[in-house]
């Protein structure tokens, strides 16, 4: 039985709660408002030393007002309309991403924004929510064939053009956030363990290739290794070594199948063939990813794998972030009183590293409050998934919950040094108009799914 199947029989059993109280999840509302309040206060404090402080405030409150409006609109609009219009929505996502690659404004090496008079719009933020709505429709329509591997391939085929266009910007961090979204939605739809292991294995191998390559360059410092290590490293680059490594994977999988046959386990050859294909595809994808990494992206991996190699250079961001969080203690130094943030030692203090600013100025209770509110928010979104009156609504909730959880893990992880530095804002907390507006719009969809859990129309 899949994650979404329980509670289908209780959708209309409690009509007495269909009024205002039953249509609003107060825990969900309280967590959302709490995160917005902490985020707004943190932006006010973190951006205070900036010379363009007034512009930051104007854009933040404009985005907040627009986000609340979009929340109210999506809260009222029946969520099935997104399923009915999934094809136009998918086309709109691809068109926006293609347009920004061709005509967008370049900032910090990324062609990822459209500039308007009072606001900057980042289509990739819309693309994440749009793809969740489209994938939910795809998986819902294939619910009778959810255990077939073709369903996974179909979902990957839908997501691949979106990820490819985002990689063209290039925005590796945003592209990586689609991995937990896809995995969570496949799990929620009821895919088998083998399918999920295949998706996880493909992603793990593809991500491991650049990590191993960069780690070897840092540790070996240009020395050419020999033996098995040299063979392995040669396979992480295009050429004969890669082909030999793929052949080795095929041989090892074949030997594993032969061992299972001799043990009289009566194995079916198809899972072994699929494993070989998944590992080989992940290896090739990792080699392509490693080859396409830019200098600053490699430096981020270097700072993660060997921060002691250049504390004043590539590891400067992480070092200052850890100092800020550690110096805050339990109670913090107080709003507008942080030394790392107010004196400019902490970079990107009002965007990517705003969690570090909170840790310095509000201390452990401030960062702990953010984590607690996020856990409550994700818990209530998953509760909405369990209570949703149809599979499509439940899958949308799974996608949005995994998106928020992925952003939280990546942002907090990079602030404390447990993940590579990435340009990933913390939704509802960091300064960023597109992120704030799209996040609130997505939460409005969740609120609508929860409100209509007892509805028959």
Predicted local confidence at residue 13, as pLDDT: 41
* Inside any domain, residue 263: yes
* Inside any domain, residue 355: yes
* Inside any domain, residue 101: yes
Q: Which is more confident, 415 or 111?
A: 415
CA dist., res. 401 & res. 384, Å (int): 10
Q: What is the pLDDT of residues 399-411, one digit of tens each?
A: 999 999 999 999 9
* Inside any domain, residue 34: yes
The runs of H, that is alpha helices, within 170-239 are: 172-176, 178-189, 193-220, 227-234
Q: What is the pLDDT of residues 301-360, one digit of tens each?
A: 877 777 776 677 767 888 888 889 998 888 888 888 888 888 878 888 888 899 999 999
Domain that holds residue 315: 8-451
Predicted local confidence at residue 241, as pLDDT: 78
For residue 10, is pLDDT > 50? no
For residue 109, is pLDDT > 90? no
Predicted local confidence at residue 452, as pLDDT: 87
* Inside any domain, residue 53: yes
Range ranked top by mean pLDDT from 214-228, 229-243, 305-319, 372-386: 372-386
* Inside any domain, residue 422: yes
Backbone angles phi, psi at 428, to 5 degrees: 75, -10
CA dist., res. 136 & res. 85, Å (int): 12
Please report which confidence band the pLDDT of residue 214 belongs to, taking 50, 70 and 90 as the band edges. confident
235 CA to centre of own chain = 29
* Inside any domain, residue 1: no
Domains in the chain: how many in total?
Answer: 1
Predicted local confidence at residue 12, as pLDDT: 39
Beta bridge mates, 107: 110
Backbone angles phi, psi at 373, to 5 degrees: -65, -40
Predicted local confidence at residue 55, as pLDDT: 87
CA dist., res. 345 & res. 450, Å (int): 44
CA dist., res. 442 & res. 457, Å (int): 21
* Inside any domain, residue 3: no
**Residue 393, Cβ neighbours under 10 Å: how many?**
27
């Amino acid at each position: 039985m899949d994650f979404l199947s329980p509670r289908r029989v209780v959708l209309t059993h409690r009509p007495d709660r269909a009024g205002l109280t039953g249509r609003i999840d107060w825990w969900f509302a309280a967590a959302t408002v709490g995160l917005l309040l902490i985020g707004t206060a943190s932006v006010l404090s973190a951006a205070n030393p900036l010379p363009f402080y007034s512009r930051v405030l104007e854009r933040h409150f404009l985005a907040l007002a627009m986000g609340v409006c979009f929340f109210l609109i999506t809260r009222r609009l029946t969520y099935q309309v997104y399923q009915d219009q999934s094809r136009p929505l998918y086309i709109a996502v691809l068109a926006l991403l293609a347009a920004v690659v061709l005509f967008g404004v370049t900032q910090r090496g990324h062609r990822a924004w459209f500039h308007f008079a009072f606001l900057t719009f980042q289509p990739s933020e819309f693309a994440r929510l749009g793809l969740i709505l489209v994938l939910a429709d795809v998986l819902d329509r294939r619910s009778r064939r959810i255990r077939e591997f073709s369903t996974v391939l179909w979902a990957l085929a839908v997501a691949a053009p979106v990820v490819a266009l985002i990689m063209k910007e290039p925005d590796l961090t945003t592209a990586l956030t689609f991995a937990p979204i896809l995995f969570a939605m496949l799990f929620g739809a009821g895919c088998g363990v083998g399918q999920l292991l295949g998706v996880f294995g493909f992603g793990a191998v593809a991500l491991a290739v650049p990590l191993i390559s960069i780690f070897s360059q840092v540790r070996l410092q240009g020395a050419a290794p020999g033996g098995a290590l040299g063979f392995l490293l040669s396979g992480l680059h295009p050429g004969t070594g890669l082909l030999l490594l793929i052949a080795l994977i095929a041989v090892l999988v074949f030997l594993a199948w032969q061992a299972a046959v001799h043990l009289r386990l009566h194995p079916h050859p198809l899972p072994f063939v699929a494993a070989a294909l998944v590992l080989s595809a992940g290896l090739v994808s990792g080699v392509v990813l490693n080859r396409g990494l830019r200098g600053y992206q490699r430096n981020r991996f270097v700072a993660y794998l060997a921060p002691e190699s250049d504390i004043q250079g590539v590891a400067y961001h992480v070092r200052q972030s850890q100092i800020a969080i550690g110096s805050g203690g339990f109670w913090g130094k107080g709003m507008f009183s942080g030394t790392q943030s107010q004196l400019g030692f902490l970079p990107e203090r009002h965007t990517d590293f705003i969690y570090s600013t909170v840790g310095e100025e509000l201390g452990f209770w401030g960062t702990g409050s953010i984590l607690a509110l996020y856990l409550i928010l994700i818990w209530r979104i998953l509760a909405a998934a369990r209570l949703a009156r149809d599979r499509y609504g439940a899958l949308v909730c799974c996608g949005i919950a995994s998106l928020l959880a992925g952003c939280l893990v990546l942002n907090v992880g990079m602030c404390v040094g447990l993940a590579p530095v990435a340009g990933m804002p913390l939704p509802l907390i960091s300064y960023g108009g597109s992120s704030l507006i799209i996040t609130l719009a997505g939460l409005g969809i969740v609120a609508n799914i929860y409100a209509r859990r007892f509805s028959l129309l």
